[in-house]
Structure 1
Amino acid sequence: MSSDPWGRVDETGTVYVRTAEGEKVVGSWQAGTPEEALAYFERKYEGLVVEIGLLEKRVKTTDLSAKDAQAAIEHIRHQVDEHHVVGDLAALSARLDKLAESVESRREERKAQKAKQADEARAAKEALVTEAEELAQSEQWRAAGERLRSLVDTWKGLPRLDRKSDDELWHRFSHARSAFSKRRKAHFAQLDAQREDARKAKERLVAEAEALQNSTDWGATAARYRELMADWKAAGRAQREHEDDLWNRFRGAQDVFFAARSGVFAERDAEQTENLKLKEELAAEAEKLLPVTDLKAARAAFRAVNERWEAIGHVPRDARPKVEGRMQAVERAIQEAEEAEWRRTNPEARARAAGLTGQLQDAVEKLRKQIDAARAAGNDAKADKLSKELEGRQALLDQALKGLQEFGG
């Protein structure tokens, strides 16, 4: 007969394990010496020790669900209760009890976290509804429309609430969007009507301007052209597809008249030449604002230059496209700088970029912990596989961080 502190083998080859309730039969051994029998069942005990250790690490370092963790605990507990091993079974039971308490504690934490997330989602959706209802009254049609579309994307990214609450909030949200769309549609319908009225009014102005273009009554006709220009500005804009054509005809008729008058009055040529010189100087002054480094200062400076520009009279007809084109190029550059600044400071885009970066950082950190756990458990194959996944996530994170830097964040 052979024995050790936790078990023994009797003369019949029956193996026993010692417990607080007394000896329990482990099994029968006929294949070798009693010492080999004890060694075999002690190795099985060590296997359970390792299995419990690995489960403890999984519970501590991974997102193993409470349900799966509890099932794993019960599986091992069943093996302990079957006492087919030789060793300190009470110690294993104590570790399993402690592990079960840890799992239950984490279950409660996750339950609380889920409740907190639900409260946060409710608050976020209520905030979206409030903002949508405010935007529904806006007349900043483009900006408000874009913001409402952004709010829809944000809504889609939030978790669902209980069905009743979610449906009620969505109904308010959807109603606000519909109200805005209805107001915007009515506004543009009215605008279309106004532009049609403007088109008709400008066609009448064009007809009169073309009828006057061959007049030699220089003073009266020039005065009438000034009145027609005032009427043109007061008429408002026609539809885009008509506005440019009408303007070209209107301006062309004036050009015919004023070119003829210039031929009669030589001094006008000198005046227009001087005007061209002044406008070229102003164009050069405006061009010095580029490249735009201080948007606010550039905008104000260009406005001041443009006011002086508008105060200057006509320039020679053949020189007008070039000098006006220089000013228009500066104006376009400032507008592009404004658009770039708006995109750079867009809070929704920055928030999305920051949110994506945060998610990727969490994923990278989580993978690193899993790799460490796998290495510690001796599972190099799993660690190598996770390392390859980490490389991909890290590359995405580097890309996201680069994009976030472009927002200045």
Structure 2
Amino acid sequence: MSSDPWGRVDETGTVYVRTSDGEKVVGSWQAGSPEEALAYFERKYEGLVVEIGLLEKRVKTTDLSAKDAMTAIDHIRGQIDEHHAVGDLEALSKRLDALVTSVESRREERKAQKAKQTDEARQAKEALVAEAEELAQSEQWRAAGERLRALVDTWKGLPRLDRKSDDELWHRFSHARSAFSKRRKAHFAALDAQREVARQTKERLVAEAEALSGSTDWGPTAARYRELMAEWKAAGRAQREHEEDLWNRFRGAQDIFFAARSGVFAERDAEQSENLKLKEELAVEAEKLVPVTDLKAARAAFRSINERWEAIGHVPRDARPKVEGRMHAVERAIQEAEEAEWRRTNPEARARAEGLTGQLQAAVDKLRTQIDAARAAGNNAKADKLSRELEGRQALLDQALKGLEEFGG
């Protein structure tokens, strides 16, 4: 018979292990000595020690699932419970109990961690849904579209929730994207329609601008081009592929017209500058007629000057008032001379002037006689009153005599 602190072999070859509940049969050994039997089952024990140690390490340092860990523990515990080894089996059982506690603790930690991750994922997805629903109302089409695509990528990187919650949130998220896409599509469809109307309008404006490009009706055509430009700006933008070409045609037609007008105006300005020199020379010639000494000769000379004036043509607009004013001044001087001559030679006016002068002279003579009589009678008050009346009549007589002189009298 052979034995050690944890087991023994009896004379029949039966191997026992010592436990707190007494000896338990481990097995039967008939092939060799008792020592070899104990050594064999002690190696079995060492194997269990190694296996438990490896399992403890895996539980501690790897992501071994609790289910797999418990399966491994149950497998080892089964070997211990069946007493297939010689050694301190209770110590191994205690290590397994501690390992079960560790696995359960890890399970609870992972459960809590998973619950936390799920809650964080839920909050993250709810935030994505809220932002997507807000973006669905945006009119910043490009920026909002890019942001929604980024939100999809973020969603894909988040953990899944329970199926019901995940499906509900995804439905809201997808609906927001669809609503935005629908609004954007409608917006650009309307924009395309507006741009097509703008293109048609601008085609019409280009056609009219090109038709007007050869016009020589400078003023009205330039005014119409200004109106066409206002209509162009009000029409809005056409499609990108048409806008630049239409503008180049529209602007090109205007350039043709305004270049031609500028050329004509340059020639006209040169011609009008020459006309101004000629008219200034005629103005100098006309001004030599003033003062008028020979009305008939002045009138004939001015008529000749005026005929040459009219034949010259236009002068620059800003110079026109000054040079024409000089001619008008000479014309007024001749007209005033004509009026004076008419007054001087008009028989009816002369007769009226002579009659008025005669009446005033008689009144003056009469007043002087009355003043002399009043002085002689010593009535100075009456004489003073009559003298004041005489001053007024004398003034009128002087004025009438001066007018009569204009008639050569």
TM-score (norm: length of structure 2): 0.60
SS at match of 2:215: coil
2:62 counterpart of 1:73: no
**Structure number with bigger Rg:** 2
Percent identity between the two aligned chains: 90
Q: Hey, what does 1:228 align to over in structure 2?
A: 228
Deviations 1:119-138 (A, max 9, x none): 11211121111111111111
Out of 147-156 and 257-266, give the one that drifted further. 257-266
Q: Give the Cα separation in 2 of the matches to 1:30 and 1:216.
A: 134
The equivalent residue for 1:208 is 208
- The Cα of 1:176 is off from its aligned counterpart by 2.1
Matched residue, 1:195: 195
Amino acid in the other structure paired with 1:154: T
Deviations 1:324-366 (A, max 9, x none): xxxxxxxxxxxxxxxxxxxxxxxxxxxxxxxxxxxxxxxxxxx
* 1:6 aligned residue: 6
Relative CO higher for 1 or 2, CA cutoff 8 Å, sep ≥ 6? Answer: 1
Q: Secondary structure at the match of 1:23?
A: strand
Aligned-partner SS, 1:159:
coil
Farther-moved stretch of structure 1 (77-86 vs 210-219): 210-219
Counterpart position of 1:289: none
Aligned to 1:25, what secondary structure does the other structure show? strand
Q: What do the CA deviations read for 1:72-129 (whole angstroms, capped 9, x no partner)?
A: 0000011111111111101100100000111111111111122112211211121111
Distance in 2, matches of 1:77 and 1:264, equals: 115
For residues 299-342 of structure 1, what are the alpha-carbon distances to aligned partners after superposition, in whole Å with 9 as ceiling and x for unaligned? Answer: xxxxxxxxxxxxxxxxxxxxxxxxxxxxxxxxxxxxxxxxxxxx
Q: For residue 133 of structure 2, what is the aligned residue in structure 1?
A: 133
Q: Which residue of 2 aligns with 1:90?
A: 90
Aligned AA for 2:174?
S
Give structure 1 stretches of 5+ with no counterpart: 268-409
1:46 is displaced (CA, Å) by 0.6
Letter in 2 for 1:22: G
Give secondary structure in 1 for the equivalent of 2:17: strand
Q: Aligned pairs, how many?
A: 267
What is the Cα deviation at residue 168 of structure 1?
Answer: 2.9
**Which residue of structure 2 aligns with residue 173 of structure 1?**
173
Counterpart of 2:34, as a letter, is: P
Q: Which residue is 1:53 aligned to?
A: 53
Match of 2:304 in 1: none
Give the secondary-structure state (helix, strand or coil) at the position aligned to 1:18: strand
* Distance of 1:47 and 1:264 partners within structure 2: 116
Q: Which residue of 2 aligns with 1:158?
A: 158
- Could you tell me which amino acid in structure 1 is paired with residue 29 of structure 2? W
TM-score (norm. length: structure 1): 0.60
Residue equivalent to 2:301: none
Q: What letter matches 1:167 in structure 2?
A: D
Amino acid at match of 2:46: E
Deviation digits for residues 35-85 of structure 1 (CA, Å, limit 9, x no counterpart)? 222111111111111000111111111111111100000000111111111
Q: Letter of the aligned partner of 1:17 in structure 2?
A: V
Return the alpha-carbon distance in structure 2 between the equivalents of residues 208 and 116 of structure 1: 72
SS at match of 1:75: helix
Q: Corresponding residue for 2:316?
A: none
SS in 2 for 1:84: coil
Please show how residues 304-315 of structure 1 align to structure 2 within 5 Å.
none
Structure 2: give runs of 5+ residues left out of the alignment. Answer: 268-409
The residue matched to 2:131 in structure 1 has which SS?
helix
Q: Which residue of 2 is the match for residue 112 of structure 1?
A: 112
Secondary structure of the corresponding residue to residue 64 of structure 2: coil
Deviates more, 1:118-127 or 1:186-195: 186-195
Q: Distance in 2 between the 1:203 and 1:112 partners?
A: 70
Counterpart CA distance in 1 for 2:266 and 2:110 is: 90
Instruction: Determine the C-alpha separation between the residues in 2 that align with 1:250 and 1:30.
Output: 116
Which amino acid is 2:159 matched to? Answer: P
Q: Aligned with 2:132: secondary structure? A: helix
Local SS of the residue matching 1:201: helix
SS at match of 2:32: coil
The one-letter code sitting in structure 2 at the alignment partner of 1:234 is A
Task: Report the 3-state secondary structure (helix = DSSP H, G, I; strand = E; otherwise coil) of the residue aligned with 1:94.
Answer: helix
SS at match of 1:125: helix
Q: How does 1:21-40 map to 2 (within 5 A)?
A: 21-40=21-40
Q: Distance in 2 between matches of 1:172 and 1:82?
A: 59
Q: Tell me the equivalent position of 2:406.
A: none
- Give the Cα separation in 2 of the matches to 1:152 and 1:214: 60
**Once the 2 structures are TM-superposed, how far is the Cα of residue 218 of structure 1 from its aligned partner?**
5.5
Deviation by residue 1:173-213 (Cα, 9 ceiling, x = unmatched): 23322322232232222212211221122112101211222
Q: Please give the alpha-carbon distance, in whole angstroms, between the structure 2 residues aligned to 1:60 and 1:7.
A: 32
Residue of structure 1 in register with 2:363 after alignment: none
Paired amino acid for 2:68: D
* Separation (CA, whole Å) in 1 of partners of 2:229 and 2:264: 23
Partner Cα separation in structure 1 for residue 263 and residue 35 of structure 2: 127
- Once residues 255 and 2 of structure 2 are traced to their aligned partners in structure 1, the CA distance between those partners, rounded to angstroms, is 122
